[in-house]
A and B are shown apart, each in its own frame.
Chain A
Amino acid sequence: MTGGVTSAKVSSSALGHAQHVLAENPVTAFAAGLFLFLAVVALLGPAVAPFDPLASDTMAALQAPSLRHLFGTDQLGRDILSRCLVATRLDLGIAAASVALVFVLGGFAGLAAGFFGGWVEALVGRVADTIMAFPLFVLAMGIVAALGNTVPNIVLATAIINFPLYVRVARAETSLRRDAGFVDAARVAGHRDMAVLLRQVAPNIMPIMVVQMSLTMGYAILNAAGLSFIGLGVRPPMPEWGIMVAEGASFIVSGEWWVALFPGATLMVAVFCFNLLGDGLRDIVDPKRRT
């Protein structure tokens, strides 16, 4: 790199491109805004919550939404809005960590399978097929139940069930480029297979992989919350959307609808945000597949 002037120029043009793209796609711009909001909430967490998410106040239990408690209070008198906000960091953290993990593992396995073919492809393909042979949520339940009820295991389980998706995309995109002229040219230039794979092919499949990450983020959030909902994930009293929905479910019949509704709505907004963002990114990367 030749200095600061260059990189500043490049980044400003990249920013300009992003601005142009967002102006052309209002829905994507909305999703990006929502994403920024969620990211800020996740980062600030407790700092933006009006109440201590763990502080119970039995005198104020099960209060309907009011100006003081916008989302109402739960059976222990905890402020549901605060718990929803604070849970953002944990839920998004689990989802992001699992997506990052599966991006590295699945992406590399798919790259190797598509590039080398032969037994590597057969091995990776069979592993992916085996994972897909199970109902994925049941598989995730099994993994967490077997390994223990901890956050790293939820991350791992969520990553494993997404593995086949990443392998498929990376393998298909790589095998399209395996015989590209620049791959031959890189071999002719004496680069070893690994260098060709990582420096020539991998950057070319990156855009589609980023789209894949955004699309699976929503699924990963749902999966993490789902595990917690059935009691196999994060444990109470830690604020987490899935648990909060589970805890609130029993109050719906007695009319205290807000206990389950607001965490569920928050979950929905987060998943919705990532799905929109993924669709938007896909349109930007590949306009031909616009739906």
Chain B
Amino acid sequence: MTVLSVEGLSVEFRTRGGTVRALDRVGFTLAAGETLALVGESGSGKSVTAFALLGLLDAAGRVTTGRAVLEGVDLASASPRVMAGIRGRRAAMIFQNPRAALNPIRPIGTQIADVLRRHAGLGRRAAAVQAVAMLRGVGIPDPERRARAYPFDLSGGMCQRVVIAIAVAARPALLIADEPTTGLDVTTQATVMDLLERLAAENGMATLLITHDLALAAERATRIAVMHAGHIVEDADTATLLAHPRHPYTRRLLAATPTGAGVLDDLHSIPGHLPDLRRDDLPPCRYAARCERRVAAYDGPLTWRMLAPGHRVACWNPA
């Protein structure tokens, strides 16, 4: 069952230096229980996609075209009031820096209770009791006492568990996890991801995992969509994408990801850098300037090629 369907989503930011075309016709679908990883280097538009979905772009940014339908509601055109009712209730998000995402001077129990009171219609007392249960549910020991703790009392991993508890408190259909484990050490990373997987399975929740870590995506996602400069360039199920990457950028990205067996010398950096998205004459393929498979003859509109069912690539000359 499709939970989220994004079609042709474009986002622009108006800045003093010109209009930044941060997202260009981004599209993907996400089914219940599925985890889609959005991978790409910094600035490729992963987080902008998340903020656009939740209607939280800052004042300079706006969605110019496209739809993002969550359970029948188009998030791109919904009113602020409707969006406030969807955020936290049907779509939730967790952040890269969990400590910053928690209010430093309020006990964590009340921060969870806030969401329960807002979305589950619980009273103050019932929400406080439920908040303790949520803390227990995300594996925090001694939840009765920890509910009264402040964020600075807790480790980074604990804080991320609290943030996750807040995110899933109202049992959303969609969870956006924006670099959820980047600030955590490796063992904590694993337990946090296990927790996310368990919660997703229990609630039939769709997860949009935003990460620059292809290894993490490979391990945890059912599907991977590769982003470059505001485009999705390749989209396939995880096994296919890893075994048969077709877009030159995906191949480069894989070559730049360490594997257990490899040595450091085998890692490759990707030449060039992201194009300046303020340019008016952006080429149809934004990777062209960095691409070793570039073919001068191709200059028409860039269209999707279906290589196999569920595997598509935006490239004139796929490998």
Please list the residues of chain A having a beta carbon within 8 angstroms of any beta carbon in chain B.
Answer: 1-2, 6, 10, 117, 180-182, 184-192, 195, 199-200, 203-204
How many residues belonging to B are interface residues under a CB distance threshold of 8 Å? 32
Which residues from B are CB-within-8-Å of A117?
59
CA distance A204 to B103 in the complex (A): 8
Instruction: Return 15 A-B CB contacts under 8 Å, by A number.
Output: A10-B148, A181-B101, A182-B100, A182-B102, A184-B101, A185-B95, A186-B103, A188-B87, A188-B167, A189-B115, A189-B167, A190-B89, A191-B84, A191-B118, A203-B105
Which residues from A are CB-within-8-Å of B93?
185, 188
B85 at the A/B interface (Cβ < 8 Å)?
Answer: yes
The answer, among B59, B86, B101, B148, for a CB contact under 8 Å with A185, is B101
Q: Which residue of B lies closest to A191 (CB)?
A: B118
The answer, among B56, B128, B148, for a CB contact under 8 Å with A188, is B56
If A2-B128, A192-B84 touch, whether A203 touches B166 (CB-CB below 8 Å) is: no
B95 touches A181 (CB 8 A): yes
CA distance A191 to B93 in the complex (A): 13
If A189-B114, A190-B87, A203-B105 touch, whether A184 touches B95 (CB-CB below 8 Å) is: yes
B54 at the A/B interface (Cβ < 8 Å)?
Answer: yes
Expressed in whole angstroms, the minimum distance between the Cβ of B254 and any Cβ of chain A is 32
A188 touches B88 (CB 8 A): yes
Which residues from A are CB-within-8-Å of B54?
188
Please list the residues of chain B having a beta carbon within 8 angstroms of any beta carbon in chain A.
Answer: 54, 56, 59, 84-89, 92-93, 95, 97, 99-106, 114-115, 118-119, 128, 144, 148, 163, 166-167, 170
If A189-B166, A190-B85, A192-B84 touch, whether A181 touches B100 (CB-CB below 8 Å) is: yes
CA distance A190 to B119 in the complex (A): 8
Which residues from B are CB-within-8-Å of A6?
148
B97 touches A188 (CB 8 A): no
Tally the A-B contacts, defined by beta carbons under 8 Å.
Answer: 72
The answer, among A180, A187, A192, for a CB contact under 8 Å with B56, is A187
A189 touches B88 (CB 8 A): yes
CA distance A181 to B163 in the complex (A): 11
Q: Which residue of B lies closest to A10 (CB)?
A: B148
The answer, among B84, B103, B163, for a CB contact under 8 Å with A190, is B84
Q: Which residue of A lies closest to B99 (CB)?
A: A181
CA distance A22 to B89 in the complex (A): 46
Interface centre among A6, A187, A192 (most CB of B within 10 A): A187
CA distance A190 to B92 in the complex (A): 8
Interface centre among B103, B115, B144 (most CB of A within 10 A): B103
A189 touches B118 (CB 8 A): yes
Which residues from B are CB-within-8-Å of A189?
87-88, 92, 114-115, 118, 166-167
Given contacts A182-B103, A182-B104, 14 further A-B contacts (CB under 8 A): A1-B128, A2-B148, A117-B59, A181-B99, A181-B100, A181-B101, A184-B56, A188-B88, A190-B89, A190-B118, A190-B119, A200-B103, A203-B105, A204-B103
Q: Which residue of A lies closest to B102 (CB)?
A: A182
Which residues from A are CB-within-8-Å of B92?
188-189
CA distance A10 to B170 in the complex (A): 30
Which residues from B are CB-within-8-Å of A2?
128, 144, 148
CA distance A203 to B111 in the complex (A): 13
Which residues from B are CB-within-8-Å of A199?
114
Q: Which residue of B lies closest to A190 (CB)?
A: B88
A180 touches B88 (CB 8 A): no
Expressed in whole angstroms, the minimum distance between the Cβ of B71 and any Cβ of chain A is 15
CA distance A181 to B160 in the complex (A): 13
A190 touches B95 (CB 8 A): no
Q: Which residue of B lies closest to A189 (CB)?
A: B88
A185 touches B104 (CB 8 A): no
Expressed in whole angstroms, the minimum distance between the Cβ of B32 and any Cβ of chain A is 20
CA distance A139 to B89 in the complex (A): 51
Interface centre among A10, A180, A189, A192 (most CB of B within 10 A): A189
A203 touches B86 (CB 8 A): no
If A1-B128, A191-B114, A199-B114 touch, whether A185 touches B85 (CB-CB below 8 Å) is: no
CA distance A188 to B118 in the complex (A): 12
Closest 4 CB pairs of A and B: A190-B88, A181-B100, A190-B87, A189-B88
A190 touches B105 (CB 8 A): no
The answer, among B84, B103, B167, for a CB contact under 8 Å with A203, is B103
The answer, among A1, A181, A186, A204, for a CB contact under 8 Å with B105, is A204
Which residues from A are CB-within-8-Å of B84?
190-192
Expressed in whole angstroms, the minimum distance between the Cβ of A114 and any Cβ of chain B is 15
Q: Which residue of A lies closest to B119 (CB)?
A: A190
Q: Which residue of A lies closest to B176 (CB)?
A: A188
Which residues from A are CB-within-8-Å of B87?
187-190
B97 touches A181 (CB 8 A): yes
Expressed in whole angstroms, the minimum distance between the Cβ of B227 and any Cβ of chain A is 21
The answer, among B88, B89, B101, B170, for a CB contact under 8 Å with A182, is B101
CA distance A31 to B106 in the complex (A): 29
Q: Which residue of B lies closest to A117 (CB)?
A: B59
Expressed in whole angstroms, the minimum distance between the Cβ of A206 and any Cβ of chain B is 8
Interface centre among A10, A181, A200 (most CB of B within 10 A): A181
